[in-house]
Structure 1
Amino acid sequence: MTELPGTLLESLLEPLQYGFMVRALLVAVVTAVVCAVLSCWLVLIGWSLMGDAVSHAVLPGVVLAYIFGAPFAIGAMIFGFLAVALIGAVRDTSRIKEDAAIGIVFTTLFALGLVLISVTPSQTDLNHIIFGNVLGVGTSDLIQVVVLSAVILLVLVLKRRDFTLYAFDATHAHAIGLRPRVLGALLLGLLAATAVVALQTVGVVLVVAMLIIPGATAYLLTDRFGRMLLLAPAISAICAVLGIYLSYFFDTAPGATIVLAQGIAFALAYLFAPQQGVFGKAVASSRRRAARRRAVHPPGEPVS
């Protein structure tokens, strides 16, 4: 555990004296933002399980890409689409339901990735793909993350209206000339690419948390999707910075600490969100009961 400096300003500045901490902060924030923006659509569509499946299923693709010297994103997207195709095939050609098909496919592909890691000679520790290694991010890794994140965010921004309509009403989207299957495939491709971005920060195991928790937290805080797209990345970025700082001072795993911070943020929203929180709904219900009582028995009127 690192000794805390004397003042708050010293505490904030101390980690920034080290280049690896600056790179870690940048990668964590960029990853948190891109994951959070995508998570808004995943939560609305109901793709939490699919996000889990794709984020784990990309592991063998990433390892094979490493073996053949190809970009990680290509291997990840190939296996992301392969996972979706296999899930659909198992669901449509057997008695197995979709949730079971997702569990079968993603665990099998994830296991394949683990086997490939165990037999692949490497000068680097490929286990970092599983658990993340944000403190070991180099300049080239930082550039890759920033460029890939920029491309993902650009596509999400340009297609945000189409994706939103697809999330709320795919039938209406088809009726006005959009192609829901193409939009769904594009989102899955972005999901696979985002998983690659998050590998450096939290690894495959915790990617799904960064892809779901920010959107779910923002969903509890607002009824407007536009605000949700702002709240989710803001909350996620704050949790990323907080997680990196806490990991520095308390010597904890950075990726896990970031996800834990996001989990705490969700818990606070779940309990205290003005309209959707547990206590918020209890207060609103109490006010409605009081209003009904006042309507039945106005002030000053004797109660028989």
Structure 2
Amino acid sequence: MIWLGCGASVGAGILLRPDGGILLAAIGGYLLWLLLRSLQTRRAEGRTGRLLAPRTILWAGVLVAAAATAPLIPWTLRNLHTLHRFEPLAPRYATDSDEIVMTGFNRWTKTWIADYVSVQEIYWNVPGAEMDVTRLPRRAFDSKQQRETTSELFADYNRNHDMTPELDARFAALARERVHAAPLRYYLGLPAVRIADMWLRPRVELLPSDPRWWEFNDDGRWLAVSLVFGIVNLVYVALAAAGLLRSREVFGVALFVIFMLLRSVFLGSLENPEPRYTLECYPAVIVLASAVFHRRA
């Protein structure tokens, strides 16, 4: 019953937000790790000791997976009947069936975006609002020609603030050029920077603070708020990292670590690095941080 309840809870989370599937993957990874440990211990000592038996772990995985995916079946059948396509989860960009997905623009954005500031100044403006090419960082251009091409694209978009399929295709062509020129930057470098930004920047996006807090141009009061919030966040992350060194004090620490790693990798693949997306990791962060203050009896 425990494993069925676990799977049902995960399934409810997936229905609420499709990225809840990351937790299912983390649980699967944790059970796999337990299975390998159990098999290794049994092979070495002829017993599993305090570990779960391999058969128990396998059944746990089956029950969790079945209970987590069962709530998706009615939704999948409904979409198959209504939309005439297999769609067990909400669309990647939460778009309507007749709504244009800006795949070209989104991919181009991922060739340079690294922090929340660009999300607020560029990404959220499309469609419907002005885009200012001067707000782009230098890493958005690999050459003078790319700067001119990007300026032309921005000018064409700003005429009516609409991302047409033709304009999106032009952004896609520019994205292909940039990815081909620097694949490591696109697939490794920028995702790593986006992950770091989401984890480490001050969490003041819902406050009147200037998102460019590091330029120290904000009102003194709100600048102080940004700095204090940034320090508080760093303390949480540092304590969690220190807690990992005492991971034996934390039950199920591998599950927490796997979940945070998987979610971070997923977040690094997004074109809108928003700090709020890491909040789901903070229960695990707090548990890990608590190990720092644990004293053995």
TM-score by length of 2: 0.30
**Greater fraction of residues in helix:** 1
TM-score by length of 1: 0.30
